[in-house]
Amino acid sequence: MSTTPPRPIVDEPVPLPKRWGDPELARLTAMLSQASLFYWKGPQTTALLDEFRRLYPLKYAHPCSSGTASLHIAVAALRLKPGDEVIVPAITDMGSVIGILYQQGVPVFADLDPLTYTLDPVDVRRRLTAKTKAIITVHLAGNASDLAGLGKIAKEHSLVLIEDCAQSWGARWQGRPVGTIGDIGCFSLNDFKMIGCGDGGIVGSNDEGIGPSLGKWGDKGYDRAGGIKDPEFLAPNYRFSEPQAAVGAAQLVRLPGIVERRVHVGQYLTKLLEGIPGLSLPGVVKGNTHSYWFYMPRLDLKRFKKPRAEITAALNAEGVSVANSCITNPVYKYPLFQNHTFFGGPWAIREAGFTSMDYRQVSLPVTEAIMADSLCVRPFNEAWTDSYIEKVAKAFRVVLGRFAL
């Protein structure tokens, strides 16, 4: 005699938004009547940058092929010398460090705040050396970093502060859009971000010493504005295109509504999860706005009788889409860092004595604790209804109650 398994608490699929529609189609249709699909002074790229600046008032803004490209452009614009150091967090995408390595720089990993999961200024200070040239702070999952603390360090030591906003469209620091407070802001239009055009990015700055060169660093060193193709430095081709810009411009128009709803979803879920023994919720500093690309709580594993993997499995069985943390390991534990095989062989700048960095010796206690006990609720999006949020919260309460000591 067969028995019917009980229905999960979350008894419906994860709600997904309708991401594309008439606004994107209208811009794409208009694009097809153009004589050229090249980005420079193209009407779609112009519209993209106009919409971007309405939300992010950056004098200099350059569209590029990805968020990774935007970060590489930002780092390249610093003109690092071999062995120069850039401080970064270790819970992030590889895109945050690729540009540093390609410019023969050294990523220096600093620890995180245990509640916001963003760079801890106290630990950043510990990592400073005479070779430090910049700080890249990642607004992880849409939660703003401590830009006051990091900005103070940058100013005191004449460092460039780069904001990695790939995960934080719509996030605000003390009422101001992230990406506009540091020296350079880097954004992603990857398909998996809050808004996207398949792939793409934007890098921007109000700094008169950095901003004018950003376009050159993303376009083979060419000076499009001056009509000069005599490169003064080696730069990659990270150009955008008009089809991407057409979709991206329409997406930027949608952004405020998307963010408003995501903020509600994140705040409502936090409200419903408050007070669950052993569950720590993402910390948001008063005055900041978390835009919730994903939702990342932590478990006090000493208060549960089962390991995280079994708790995660039980939550998934109840219909909650949740994983163990947001990445597999801290970046410095990836094989290419542990083996220093960034370019398929020995790390040239280490062999030549420009750095003594050994990533096998790096250990960040807060970062590793977050990786060991955090959960990542994803997909997490603006289509979640209040009733769906309530089911997710109920599943957390039931499962964590079941495993509590």
Is the residue at 74 inside a domain? yes
139 in the same domain as 46: yes
**Predicted pLDDT at 80:** 98
Confidence of residue 79 (pLDDT cuts 50, 70, 90): very high
Calculate the alpha carbon distances from 391 to 207, 265, 310 in Å: 47, 13, 20
**Predicted pLDDT at 283:** 96
**Predicted pLDDT at 228:** 86
Q: Give the residue from 11, 12, 20 showing the smallest Cα distance to 258.
A: 20
Q: Where on the phi/psi map is residue 25: left (φ > 0), alpha (ψ -120 to 50), or beta?
A: alpha
pLDDT in tens, 33-48: 999 999 999 999 999 9
CA 249, CA 196: separation in Å to the nearest integer? Answer: 10
207 in the same domain as 152: yes
**Predicted pLDDT at 327:** 94
**Predicted pLDDT at 4:** 74
Instruction: Pull the structure tokens for residue 165.
Output: 């906003």
Q: In the predicted model, what is the mean pLDDT of the chain?
A: 97
DSSP assignment string, 150-183: HHHHHHHTT-EEEEE-TT-TT-EETTEETTSSSS
CA 73, CA 75: separation in Å to the nearest integer? Answer: 6
pLDDT in tens, 176-230: 999 999 999 999 999 999 999 999 999 999 999 999 999 999 999 999 999 989 9
310 in the same domain as 185: no
Is the residue at 334 inside a domain? no
Is the residue at 303 inside a domain? yes
| CATH classification of the domain holding 269 | 3.90.1150.10
Is the residue at 223 inside a domain? yes
Is the residue at 242 inside a domain? yes
pLDDT in tens, 143-188: 999 999 999 999 999 999 999 999 999 999 999 999 999 999 999 9
Is the residue at 225 inside a domain? yes
Calculate the alpha carbon distances from 381 to 51, 234, 268, 303, 345 in Å: 22, 40, 13, 30, 41
Domain that holds residue 218: 22-252
Helix or strand run (H / E) with residue 64: strand 60-64
**Predicted pLDDT at 6:** 86
Helix or strand run (H / E) with residue 135: strand 132-138
pLDDT at 3 over 80: no
CA 184, CA 71: separation in Å to the nearest integer? Answer: 9
CA 356, CA 272: separation in Å to the nearest integer? Answer: 48
Q: Which residues have C-beta within 8 Å of that of residue 350, sequence separation ≥ 6?
A: 340, 356, 357
| CATH classification of the domain holding 37 | 3.40.640.10
pLDDT in tens, 294-348: 999 999 999 999 999 999 999 999 999 999 999 999 999 999 999 999 998 899 9
Calculate the alpha carbon distances from 254 to 23, 52, 227 in Å: 9, 11, 34
pLDDT at 83 over 90: yes
Q: Where on the phi/psi map is residue 354: left (φ > 0), alpha (ψ -120 to 50), or beta?
A: alpha
CA 257, CA 298: separation in Å to the nearest integer? Answer: 29
159 in the same domain as 280: no
- Going by their DSSP bridges, the two strands 85-88 and 106-109 should be labelled as parallel
Is the residue at 10 inside a domain? no
217 in the same domain as 282: no
Instruction: Pull the structure tokens for residue 168.
Output: 């934080």
pLDDT at 241 over 90: yes
220 in the same domain as 138: yes
Q: ∠ at Cα 80 (77, 86), nearest 5°? A: 95
Confidence of residue 2 (pLDDT cuts 50, 70, 90): low
* Number of structural domains in the chain: 2
Give me the mean pLDDT over the 14-38 stretch. 97
69 in the same domain as 166: yes
CA 289, CA 139: separation in Å to the nearest integer? Answer: 11
306 in the same domain as 195: no
**Predicted pLDDT at 5:** 75
pLDDT in tens, 115-128: 999 999 999 999 99
Q: Which of 212, 229, 252 is the last residue of a domain?
A: 252
239 in the same domain as 382: no
Q: Which of 232, 252, 272 is the last residue of a domain?
A: 252
Q: Report which residue type is found at 359.
A: Y
159 in the same domain as 93: yes
For the whole model, what pTM was predicted? Answer: 0.97
pLDDT in tens, 93-105: 999 999 999 999 9
218 in the same domain as 120: yes
194 in the same domain as 312: no
Q: Which of 200, 229, 252 is the last residue of a domain?
A: 252
Q: Is the peptide bond before 243 cis (omega within 30 degrees of 0)?
A: no
